[in-house]
Amino acid sequence: MAYSDWWKKTVVYQVYPKSFQDSNNDGIGDLPGITSRLPYIKKLGADVIWLNPVYKSPDKDNGYDISDYCAIQPNYGTMADFDEMLETAHSLGLKIMMDLVVNHTSDQHKWFQESRKSIDNPYRDYYIWRDPVDGREPNNWGSRFDGSAWEFDEKTGQYYLHLYTKEQPDLNWENPKVREEVWNLMRFWLDKGIDGFRMDVINLISKPEGLPDGNKKAGAKYGGTGLVANGHRLNEFLEEMNDKVLSKYDVMTVGEMPGSTPKEAIKYAGLNENKLNMVFQFNHMNVSGNPDKRLGHWNDEPIDLVDLKKVLSKWEIALDGKGWNSLYWSNHDQSRAVSRFATDDSRYRVLAAKMLGTTLHMLQGTPYVYEGEEIGMTNAHFTELSQYEDIQSLNAYKELVEVEKIVDKETMLKYLAYRTRDNARTPMQWDRGTNAGFTEGQPWLAVNPNYSQINVEENLEDSNSVFYYYQKLIELRHNSDLVVYGDYAVIDMEDEEVFTYRRRYNDETLLVINNFTSHDVIRDYGQENGALLIGNYVDDKNTRLRPYESKVYLLK
Ligand code: NOJ
């Protein structure tokens, strides 16, 4: 099939099924719930829905531990419910992109159940098993969620590899039979008519030869697994995937690739390359980490705007004409955009949410809106450990506070409140009624108490809401080649308060000005000569920028 690039003009809306809409009041979101809300997503104007995993799973990592790739998680409904959702989406002109989680399976998957039975089981080589070395783990790798990346299995006296929890054993992609299984399960969903895949940690599938020790940061217990990213056979595996499967379908593919550089992104998702369409990179998510590298991700540092600009600019410039950016502030693994990237999620919440939306949607790439972002939902602000459900957060607390004693309880609770994945996972806030209209039952994770002020109902009633602003941003992208294809240049990189850039396409220029502070600043970019396309205040054509003000001008 010829190279096609319809996905460049699209906007993606991410649905986290567990938290979106419950239809049977068991406290867990489900497929019929999603189907009932498709007209809402259509109203917003998004084109593609990225659906987090809905496959059968013991749910240790909220569906990223799959025990049957061709079955639906019973809590979410049935295959008939899935088919109905897909059909309804298509009838509304919406596409569905599924999550493909094939770096690892659940330990309850039948392949792993067989694999662990004996060394000569036909499924043994579906996973990565190694003998102990000097009576201990085969190397020093730490898992991303759970102590050592190796788990000893008494029955056969060997260790298996798990880069995530021990219930998520890594598949052995060196084994052609494993690859064949993956191609088959992809075909199963593509033949149903889905429109693409977001590929979970796809750059971890090729492990380095000989599985060498990783570098240890000062004082760290385990070596890092950074060396696993973008391994020596990744390109070959992606080429095979394209050859055997993707080339037969006109679909959108996004590779989640932690630890990647723009050069790697171009290698695996270069334009006209027929591998992936784009990658998810994490550089901007990692701005302002904890100065203590052992804590890295766990921090409560405000965002350094200059660093953020540098990272986003680096990607915009490097990929122009060579690759394609995925643009996002938030997803199910991150804090809420307005609570992390603006310093104010209360007094200036609405303005800040619109400002962030403007900053992101006017860049070159495909924007991803995470459920609730379009109404300005905020972090959960949990204060007690018992409020958390996320395995990454709970394991990190255990390891860093109780086992390693690197950080005290109060500090870690502050870090969790700022960075936990549960911030993104609290139920969608639909209305002012019981549990924000998410469920009549007991929600699996607490609803954010601010739902009586922040909800879809209130947004739809207010013509000045974040929702209608996002609707307009999406419309702009649909109607402007300048917004989609224009090149990018930052203006005044060292400005610590304002993020301004221009886009250019043919003879048109767009000027995008965003005040990231809660006070007035004065900046003159010649905006008085422009025509305002969108802004979050009534325009005064002034060089004064009000708190969190955004202005987008078409320059003459
Ligand atoms: C990335 C996913 O987005 C995250 O939610 C998950 O825990 C890990 N990959 C492991 O699958």
Instruction: Write down all domains in the chain, each with its CATH number in brackets.
Output: 7-100+325-382+420-479 (3.20.20.80), 110-161 (3.90.400.10), 176-262+269-300 (no CATH), 486-555 (2.60.40.1180)
Which residue among 15, 50, 61 has the greatest number of ligand 1 atoms within 8 angstroms of its CB, and so is best to mutate? 61
Protein residue with its CA nearest to atom 4 in ligand 1:
333
Return the structure tokens found at 218: 């000062």
Protein residue with its CA nearest to atom 8 in ligand 1:
64
Which residue among 200, 260, 392 has the greatest number of ligand 1 atoms within 8 angstroms of its CB, and so is best to mutate? 200
Q: How much distance in Å is there from the Cα of 201 to the middle of ligand 1?
A: 7
Q: What is the pLDDT of residue 201?
A: 98
The pLDDT confidence band at residue 82, using thresholds 50, 70 and 90, is very high
Tell me if 429 sits within 8 A of 454, measured CB to CB.
yes
| Residue whose C-alpha is closest to residue 219's, from 301, 299, 296 | 296
| Residue whose C-alpha is closest to residue 552's, from 419, 280, 363, 325 | 363
Active site annotation includes 47: no
Distance CA 363, CA 196 (A): 23
Distance CA 275, CA 241 (A): 8
Backbone dihedral angles phi then psi of residue 217, each to the nearest 5 degrees: -75, 155
Return the structure tokens found at 39: 């007209």
* Residues in contact with ligand 1 (CB, 6 Å cut-off): 61, 64, 101, 164, 200-201, 256, 332-333
Return the structure tokens found at 53: 């995993």
Give residues with Cβ within 8 angstroms of 399, minimum separation 6.
Answer: 147
Q: What is the pLDDT of residue 208?
A: 96
Q: How much distance in Å is there from the Cα of 474 to the middle of ligand 1?
A: 27
Higher pLDDT, 5 or 36: 36
Look-up: residue for tokens 């089981």? 121
Tell me if 428 sits within 8 A of 370, measured CB to CB.
no
Active site annotation includes 481: no
Distance CA 320, CA 505 (A): 12
Return the structure tokens found at 130: 């190694």
Q: What is the pLDDT of residue 1?
A: 67
Hey, which residues does 503 pair with through a beta bridge? 488, 510
Query: Which residue type sits at 69?
Result: Y
Backbone dihedral angles phi then psi of residue 261, each to the nearest 5 degrees: -100, 165
Catalytic-labelled residue, pool 65, 146, 170, 256: 256
User: What average pLDDT does the structure give for the chain?
Assistant: 96
Tell me if 30 sits within 8 A of 76, measured CB to CB.
yes
Task: Point out the ligand 1 atom lying closest to the alpha carbon of residue 392.
Answer: 7
* Percentage of the residues of the chain whose pLDDT score is greater than 70: 99
CA distances from 89 to 15, 42, 244 (A): 13, 9, 27
Q: How much distance in Å is there from the Cα of 200 to the middle of ligand 1?
A: 6
Which residue among 15, 16, 64, 69 has the greatest number of ligand 1 atoms within 8 angstroms of its CB, and so is best to mutate? 64
Task: Point out the ligand 1 atom lying closest to the alpha carbon of residue 64.
Answer: 11
Protein residue with its CA nearest to atom 11 in ligand 1:
64
Q: How much distance in Å is there from the Cα of 340 to the middle of ligand 1?
A: 20
pLDDT digits (tens, 9 = 90+) for 371-425: 999 999 999 999 999 999 999 999 999 999 999 899 999 999 999 999 999 999 9
Q: What is the pLDDT of residue 333?
A: 98
What's the N-to-C CA distance of the chain in angstroms?
Answer: 41
Return the structure tokens found at 6: 């319809």
Across 2-6, 109-113, 144-148, 298-302, least confident range: 2-6
Q: How much distance in Å is there from the Cα of 421 to the middle of ligand 1?
A: 10
pLDDT digits (tens, 9 = 90+) for 273-332: 879 999 999 999 999 999 988 888 999 999 999 999 999 999 999 999 999 999 999 999
Q: What is the pLDDT of residue 492?
A: 98
pLDDT over 90 at 343, yes or no: no
SS3 283: helix
Catalytic-labelled residue, pool 200, 333, 390, 549: 200
pLDDT over 90 at 145, yes or no: no
pLDDT digits (tens, 9 = 90+) for 421-438: 999 999 999 999 999 999
Task: Point out the ligand 1 atom lying closest to the alpha carbon of residue 164.
Answer: 10
pLDDT digits (tens, 9 = 90+) for 474-527: 999 999 999 999 999 999 999 999 999 999 999 999 999 999 999 999 999 998
Which residue among 167, 228, 333, 395 has the greatest number of ligand 1 atoms within 8 angstroms of its CB, and so is best to mutate? 333
Which residue among 18, 51, 107, 164 has the greatest number of ligand 1 atoms within 8 angstroms of its CB, and so is best to mutate? 164
Query: Exposure pattern of 159-196 as b/e (b: 16+ CB <10 Å)?
Result: bbbbbbbbbbbbbbbebeebbebbbebbeebbeeebbb
Hey, which residues does 56 pair with through a beta bridge? 68
| Entry pTM | 0.97
User: Could you count the other beta carbons within 10 Å of the beta carbon of residue 538?
Assistant: 6
Distance CA 135, CA 219 (A): 23
Q: What is the pLDDT of residue 2?
A: 65
Q: How much distance in Å is there from the Cα of 441 to the middle of ligand 1?
A: 27
Q: How much distance in Å is there from the Cα of 223 to the middle of ligand 1?
A: 20
pLDDT digits (tens, 9 = 90+) for 211-244: 999 998 877 889 888 889 999 999 999 999 999 9
Tell me if 334 sits within 8 A of 393, measured CB to CB.
no
| Residue whose C-alpha is closest to residue 58's, from 184, 204, 168, 147 | 168
Task: Point out the ligand 1 atom lying closest to the alpha carbon of residue 421.
Answer: 5
Q: How much distance in Å is there from the Cα of 472 to the middle of ligand 1?
A: 31
Q: What is the pLDDT of residue 238?
A: 97
Q: What is the pLDDT of residue 293?
A: 82
pLDDT over 90 at 346, yes or no: yes
Protein residue with its CA nearest to atom 6 in ligand 1:
64
Q: How much distance in Å is there from the Cα of 211 to the middle of ligand 1?
A: 22
For the residues 14-28, what does the mean pLDDT come to?
98
Tell me if 414 sits within 8 A of 400, measured CB to CB.
no
* Percentage of the residues of the chain whose pLDDT score is greater than 90: 93
Tell me if 58 sits within 8 A of 456, measured CB to CB.
no
The pLDDT confidence band at residue 4, using thresholds 50, 70 and 90, is confident
Distance CA 439, CA 104 (A): 32
Q: What is the pLDDT of residue 219?
A: 78
Distance CA 292, CA 134 (A): 32
Hey, which residues does 151 pair with through a beta bridge? 160
Task: Point out the ligand 1 atom lying closest to the alpha carbon of residue 61.
Answer: 7
pLDDT over 80 at 350, yes or no: yes
Q: How much distance in Å is there from the Cα of 425 to the middle of ligand 1?
A: 13
For the residues 106-121, what does the mean pLDDT come to?
98
pLDDT over 70 at 204, yes or no: yes
Q: What is the pLDDT of residue 539?
A: 83
pLDDT digits (tens, 9 = 90+) for 452-489: 999 999 999 999 999 999 999 999 999 999 999 999 99
